[in-house]
Amino acid sequence: MESTILKTENLSAYYGEVKVLKSISLSFAENKVTAILGPSGCGKSTFIRCLNRMHELVDGAKVEGRVLLRGQDVYSMESTIVRRKIGMVFQKPNPFPTMSIYDNVIAGYKLNSIKLKKTEADEIVEGSLKKAALWNEVKNYLHKKGTFLSGGQQQRLCIARALAMKPEVLLLDEPTSALDPKATAKIEELMEELKKTVTIVLVTHNIGQASRISDYTAFLYLGELVEFGPTQKVFTVPRDKRTEEYLIGKFG
């Protein structure tokens, strides 16, 4: 049985007076991967940044409509709690350069001034690195800087940092676009594993990636939700001509 963990209702977003998302209503199934596809500039990043209230951090940015996490409107919750429950990983791996691997993983606790006992911190670091499939590679170097890792390892460190906050939903904004094919394959494998415990929203330009690992696909075009459904169906019998044209590579 599938249940909806997160949904948007008539979600619109603006930068100043410019409306870049137009009344999007979309539900995310729990413990599934939902891919967000669409040409550059169509609003994918803006959309997922509205889900965890990052959009409002931009000057002049505005949101209309609702975002419900397990039925609760995230815009009536405390924003720091929303961002803890709905974690995010960006395109470019961005571990904190001055921090050790260990401190990077628990950085969210420090930033939120949440005190951890040493044994608790040790457990969270080990557990999160294991979940991010990085533990074996770094367990002997926990107190070295995170920046000496490869790009793929740095991205898995960022995933560990997000997982450390025990999020219910993980937003990934083109998490592999800066990585080579091998590091990409490793992260795709990881997403398959992670969805057992966390719901994943994946923005990607990589159509192959969406078809390999997502359960559902949403296609955005010029700020509108043009198509949504089970990935298998969207890829084989898209309802909208624009989806079909995108999938066969007519526009980027």
Ligand X SMILES: Nc1ncnc2c1ncn2[C@@H]1O[C@H](COP(=O)(O)OP(=O)(O)OP(=O)(O)O)[C@@H](O)[C@H]1O
Applying CB under 6 A, which of residues 15, 90, 135, 235 lies at the interface with ligand X? 15
209 binds, among Mg ion, ligand X, none (CB under 5 to 8 A by kind): none
| Using rule CB under 6 A, residue 20 touches ligand X | yes
Using the rule CB under 6 A, give the single segment among 22-30, 39-47, 68-76, 127-135 that binds ligand X.
39-47
Q: In sequence order, what are the beta bridge partners of 6? A: 28, 69
Residues 50-89 as x/- pattern, contact with ligand X by CB under 6 A: --------x-------------------------------
> CA-to-CA distance for 67 and 241, rounded, in angstroms?
28
Distance of closest approach, residue 177 Cβ to Mg ion, in angstroms: 9
Q: What strand order describes the sheet that includes 18-29?
A: 18-29, 4-15, 61-69, 72-73
> CA-to-CA distance for 187 and 191, rounded, in angstroms?
6
Applying CB under 6 A, which of residues 43, 87, 93, 152 lies at the interface with ligand X? 43
Cβ-based burial of 97 (10 A; exposed 0-12, middle 13-18, buried ≥19)? exposed
| Using rule CB under 5 A, residue 45 touches Mg ion | yes
| Using rule CB under 6 A, residue 44 touches ligand X | yes
At 188 the three-state DSSP class reads helix
Q: Do 171 and 52 touch, CB atoms closer than 8 A?
A: yes
Residues in contact with ligand X by CB under 6 A are 15, 20, 38, 40-46, 58
